[in-house]
Amino acid sequence: MEVKSGEAAAELRDLVEQLQPAFDILPDPIRVIDPRGISIYVNRAFLQMTGFSPTEIIGRPAVESFVEEDHTRVKTSISSFFKSGVWSGTLEVRMHRKGGEPVAVSLNGSAVRNSRQEMIGGFAVFRDVSRLERILAEPLEILKLEGSPVEVLRLLPARVAGYFPGRPWVMINLVQGEYLRFAYAINVPAELMAQGGEPMDEAICSIPIRSATPLGIADMTADDRTRQDPCVTQYGCRGYLGYPIRLSSGMVVGVICVLRSNRGGFGEYDHRILEMFAKRAAMELERSELEARLDEAERDLQGMIDHAPFLLWRISPEGRIFAMSRKGKKDLGYEESAAIGESWFDLIHPDDLDDIRKGFAQLQNPKTRNGNPAHQFRLRKKDGEYGLFFTTVRPVLDRMGNVKILEGVSIEIPQEESVN
């Protein structure tokens, strides 16, 4: 039976009066409208966002609050809403702000129903996305995170959660064969994280992973793919947004997802924010793999250095000894397995030190760096005696072209063959 307009208006006013104390303490701007699209109520957060007084909003068409270019879209959404009883996803528009520039907002609506479950009005929850507009114009701000790959990946979920309202779940889930591992997360119940993951065939996140495309679900209870998922039935999740984590090779290795308790779609800003974090997660995973390969190569190199048949050494530009061959330690009178506690420069004869430091300084300057220079200098052995060594040195550069290590080969010259 259709609700009479007068009866519906009275029921809507009574319901709003009951809800007003709760609405007024909420941080999100809220507006209630009747089936004609007239504003019946706005909460304090709405007034703070727009700067208008209640008398300038209440009793007037809701569409007037938006800039003229968005009127058609707003009218269409409101009309469709009252015909179907379902809000058709997040709407991103601009609202007038009293005495200032319009504010960019995203909004989601929901039906207001009486005790007989008849639709008597609707309310919209707004989100000020003007800050996100500024951030997306300067993506370095959003992605500024420092540390090792693992440290950055641990920080990412909390950073993502800061751009979505409420306390959303944010997870980075990674593929391990036919299993999806819960790798990094924020706000997710401990008992769920303790499971470690779930089979790919049972995971919501397998959908964006296998399709290699983003997945947004406005209401998981209304979607056949998700309505029986434990996140919905046990934990009350309603909205889902997942972005595949794609490596530079094109391979999808996981997903970064946001789950929230309220229904409603995710808007353009939400998609753009999560896409950027998905790319950052991919970059850190590739950096982690690269560092693992470099560590493995470094271990192989260490083995080569250990067994070199001559005095092979690697030092920092400041002289700290990173590695020295066993043969080299033996030539200097040290135990082959022992570490040399002194710096490289402590071992060089004081009279030769200035020339060596000048030569090393030239290696660190790209303008004066030329080939692998040779030096002849005296090195102190463990017994305190000095031996004369002929040495060639080469710089090992990092990815920025800076010298990170000096590597040298030193061959002792018998005293009778030395030239004074």
Identify the CATH number of the domain in which residue 143 sits: 3.30.450.40
* Residue 277 within any structural domain of the chain: yes
141 and 111 inside one domain: no
* Residue 369 within any structural domain of the chain: yes
CA distance 373 to 201: 61
123 and 10 inside one domain: yes
* Residue 300 within any structural domain of the chain: no
* Whole-number pLDDT of residue 419: 41
CA distance 353 to 319: 12
User: Last residue of a domain, which of 291, 326, 349?
Assistant: 291
CA distance 387 to 416: 12
* Residue 79 within any structural domain of the chain: yes
> Which residue range forms the structural domain that includes residue 283?
135-291
Place of tokens 């727009």: 50
What's the pLDDT tens digit per position in 361-411? Answer: 888 777 776 666 778 889 999 999 999 888 888 888 776 778 888 888 888
267 and 410 inside one domain: no
19 and 120 inside one domain: yes
177 and 270 inside one domain: yes
65: domain CATH number? 3.30.450.20
> For residue 198, which of 173, 164, 171, 172 has the smallest C-alpha distance?
173
* Whole-number pLDDT of residue 322: 86
234 and 318 inside one domain: no
> For residue 337, which of 349, 328, 345 has the smallest C-alpha distance?
328
- pLDDT above 70: residue 138: no
* Residue 285 within any structural domain of the chain: yes
169 and 257 inside one domain: yes
What's the pLDDT tens digit per position in 148-183? Answer: 888 889 999 998 998 888 789 999 999 999 999 999
What's the pLDDT tens digit per position in 335-352? Answer: 887 778 888 899 999 999
What is the reported pTM? 0.56
